[in-house]
């Protein structure tokens, strides 16, 4: 009946029922987050077709779970039993790149790096650069308010979204936001949709702000004997007034895993590596790179260097990007995404080490240390249920520690399913009730990705 109704409103090839295909579209990359098999996958080719999907779901009161590339790490795109999965993978047009207004208009299925490459041809730059950028889509980036490496200087996805076209929870196709540089006409509903993880609307087009392409970056690398020393180096850089264009931490577990896989000659006799970058042009860039180097050395780096060639610098950043897949070769990886005040980073890294010891769990660390966003990666051997239970306890402990230090349970990955309990603790019942009220206002029939982010049933 649902499927017949979909087929009545859409070309047949948009509607996919093959169980093998459905299984591939039923979950994102979050280990351990539950998922079930959808009734059907629909791949609309236009905003109007997406609206038809939502209207059909409204008639049948069937949930619609929107997904981009499925690279999420929190279960936000995981299917519910019998739901409709709406994939944006056929909505891949870059409609406009405007050099005068410095904006781009794209469909949600455009891959992040494809947009960046298209902008580069016009001397423009779309900054948000999640590690998933070769695969993840702008729609998914917007739905999760994705971050990345350059956020420490340039902000996150929300800072670049000017406007969007959306199918609402009542099946209307509307435009929110604007194309102008400034605007305060009414509530910032476009901003509200950013990071709402598919629970408030189905995004069918996005207008993003662009910047001029920047100067080539200079890279500074430092090896440290302890996370504490690395934390000191990061704090010293901030205190020196330098805002780096990247400040990343990679620990020895990650380096060893990447090296074992790619044989890049990376393994160092150090606990952690810091990678700093500056894209300030000319003399200012030289000064910032020298300042970072000085901060590394004063914090006790066993080895620190300003990379003189781009290839070497790229290799170090490649190691950082490869850390996650390299660790996955050792077993399922449960990814944390806590973000703490920058002054609490060293303490938080110490708490993570303590959690690893206490719960006898291998925890590797990559971190956007410059803005306090840490990614402890909890690794368990395949099929070891006891190890998995210990890792789960460590996961909860780390979330509690982050909240205790004034942090948040998720800096950039989103809540999805994995961080729902943490969100409850972070927000408290009154603010959760405000979330429920907003959800009810914009999705009165509760069909948009229900059960994600928070439990929309009223608290007691």
Binding to a copy of itself (CB under 8 A) within 361-400 occurs at: 368, 371-373
- Residue with Cβ nearer a copy of itself (296 or 454): 454
**Size of the chain in residues:** 460
Q: Does 406 bind a copy of itself (CB under 8 A)?
A: yes
Question: What string marks each residue from 87 to 126 as x (binds a copy of itself by CB under 8 A) or -?
Answer: ------------xxxx--------------------x---
441 is an interface residue for a copy of itself by CB under 8 A: yes
In the complex with a copy of itself, the residue whose CB is nearer, 287 or 358, is 287
423 binds a copy of itself (CB under 8 A): yes
What stretches of 75-217 adopt beta strand conformation (E)?
A: 84-87, 94-98, 103-106, 124-125, 161-167, 173-177, 202-209, 211-212
Site string for a copy of itself, 218-237 (x = CB under 8 A): -----------------x--
Q: How far is the CB of 83 from a copy of itself (least distance, A)?
A: 22
CA 261 to chain centre: 25
Region 21-80 residues binding a copy of itself, contact defined as CB under 8 A = none
User: Does position 454 bind a copy of itself by CB under 8 A?
Assistant: yes
Is 129 near a copy of itself (CB under 8 A)?
A: no
Q: Cα dist. 86→40, 191, 256, 390, 418 in Å?
A: 9, 22, 39, 36, 21
Can residue 216 be called a binding residue for a copy of itself (CB under 8 A)?
no
Contact window for a copy of itself (CB under 8 A) among 130-138, 167-175, 296-304, 328-336:
167-175
Among 10, 65, 164, 189, binds a copy of itself (CB under 8 A): 189
The H-or-E segment that residue 185 falls in is none
Q: Does 428 bind a copy of itself (CB under 8 A)?
A: yes
What is the C-alpha to C-alpha distance for residues 91 and 107, in angstroms, rounded to an integer? 5
Contacts of 375 (CB under 8 A, 6+ apart): 335, 336, 337, 365, 366, 367, 368
Asked if 278 is part of the footprint of a copy of itself (rule: CB under 8 A), the reply reads no
* Contact between 338 and 423 (Cβ < 8 Å): no
Would you say 259 or 337 has its CB closer to a copy of itself?
Answer: 337
| Beta bridge partner(s), residue 167 | 173, 202
The span from the CA of 452 to the CA of 246, in Å, is 31
- The residue range among 27-35, 152-160, 221-229, 316-324 that interacts with a copy of itself, by the rule CB under 8 A, is 152-160
Residue 185 or 311 having the CB closest to a copy of itself? 185
Residue 41 backbone dihedrals phi, psi, to 5 degrees: -110, 135
Query: Which one, 191 or 225, has the nearer CB to a copy of itself?
Result: 191
- Burial (CB count <10 Å: 0-12, 13-18, 19+), residue 405: middle
Q: 303-322: which residues touch a copy of itself (CB under 8 A)?
A: none
Site for a copy of itself in 321-350 (CB under 8 A): 339-343
Element (H, E) at 231: helix 227-239
User: Is residue 455 near a copy of itself by the rule CB under 8 A?
Assistant: no
Chain centroid offset of residue 4 CA: 36
Helices (H), 25-62: 47-60
Applying CB under 8 A, does 174 fall inside the site for a copy of itself?
A: yes
Quote the CA–CA distance of 96 and 281 in Å, as a whole number. 29
Minimum separation from the CB atom of position 411 to a copy of itself (A) = 4
Place of tokens 């050395």: 297
Q: What is the sign, positive or negative, of the torsion defined by CA atoms of 330, 396, 77, 104?
A: negative
Question: 255 vs 442, which CB is nearer to a copy of itself?
Answer: 442
Q: Which of 243, 256, 290, 315 binds a copy of itself (CB under 8 A)?
A: 243
Q: Smallest distance from the beta carbon of 221 to a copy of itself, in angstroms? A: 22
Q: Is 158 in the site for a copy of itself (CB under 8 A)?
A: yes
Question: In the set 147, 222, 231, 450, which binds a copy of itself (CB under 8 A)?
Answer: 147
CA-closest candidate to residue 29, choices 66, 80, 68, 71? 71
Please report, to the nearest 10 degrees, the dihedral formed by the alpha carbons of residues 307, 312, 316, 321 taken in order. Answer: 130
Q: From the list 8, 182, 269, 308, which residue makes contact with a copy of itself (rule: CB under 8 A)? A: 182
Where does this chain touch a copy of itself (CB under 8 A) — which range of 7-15, 222-230, 282-290, 297-305? 282-290
Sign of CA dihedral 379, 383, 386, 388: positive
**Count of residues binding a copy of itself (CB under 8 A)?**
85
């Amino acid at each position: 009946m649902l499927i017949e109704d979909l087929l009545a409103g859409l070309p047949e090839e948009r509607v996919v029922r093959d169980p093998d295909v459905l299984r591939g579209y039923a979950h994102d990359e979050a280990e351990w987050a539950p998922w079930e098999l959808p009734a059907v996958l629909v791949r609309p080719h236009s905003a109007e077709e997406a609206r038809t999907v939502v209207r059909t779901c409204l008639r049948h009161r069937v949930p619609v779970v929107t997904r981009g590339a499925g690279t999420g790490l929190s279960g936000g795109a995981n299917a519910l039993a019998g739901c409709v999965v709406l994939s944006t993978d056929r909505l891949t047009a870059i409609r406009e790149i405007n050099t005068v207004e410095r904006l781009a208009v794209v469909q949600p299925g455009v891959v992040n790096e494809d947009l960046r490459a298209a902008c580069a041809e016009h001397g423009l730059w779309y900054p948000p650069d999640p590690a998933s950028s070769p695969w993840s889509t702008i729609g998914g980036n917007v739905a999760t308010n994705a971050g990345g490496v350059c956020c420490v200087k340039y902000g996150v996805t929300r800072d670049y979204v000017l406007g969007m076209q959306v199918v609402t929870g009542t099946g209307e196709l509307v435009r929110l936001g604007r194309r102008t540089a400034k605007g305060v006409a009414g509530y910032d509903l476009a901003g509200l949709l950013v990071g709402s993880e598919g629970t408030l609307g189905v995004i069918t087009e996005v207008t993003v702000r662009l910047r001029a392409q920047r100067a080539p970056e200079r890279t500074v690398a430092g090896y440290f004997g302890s996370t504490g020393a690395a934390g000191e180096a990061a704090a010293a850089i901030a205190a020196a007034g330098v805002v780096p264009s990247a400040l990343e931490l990679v620990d020895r577990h990650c380096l060893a895993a990447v090296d074992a896989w790619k044989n890049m000659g990376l393994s160092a006799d150090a606990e952690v590596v810091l990678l700093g970058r500056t894209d300030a042009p000319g003399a200012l860039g030289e000064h910032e790179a020298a300042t970072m180097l000085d901060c590394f050395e004063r914090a006790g780096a066993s080895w620190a260097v300003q990379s003189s060639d781009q290839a070497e610098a790229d290799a170090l950043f490649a190691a950082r990007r490869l850390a996650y897949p390299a660790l996955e070769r050792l077993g399922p990886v449960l990814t944390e995404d806590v973000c703490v005040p920058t002054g609490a980073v060293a303490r938080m890294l110490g708490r993570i080490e303590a959690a690893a010891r206490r719960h006898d769990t291998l925890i590797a660390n990559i971190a956007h240390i410059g803005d306090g966003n840490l990614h402890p990666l909890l690794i368990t051997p395949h099929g070891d249920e006891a190890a998995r239970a210990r890792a789960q306890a460590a996961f909860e402990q780390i979330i509690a520690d982050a909240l205790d230090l004034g942090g948040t349970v998720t800096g950039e990955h989103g809540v999805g399913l994995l961080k729902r309990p943490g969100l409850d603790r972070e927000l408290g019942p009154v603010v959760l009730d405000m979330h429920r009220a907003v959800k009810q206002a914009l999705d009165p029939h509760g069909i948009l990705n229900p059960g994600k982010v928070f439990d929309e049933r009223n608290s007691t």
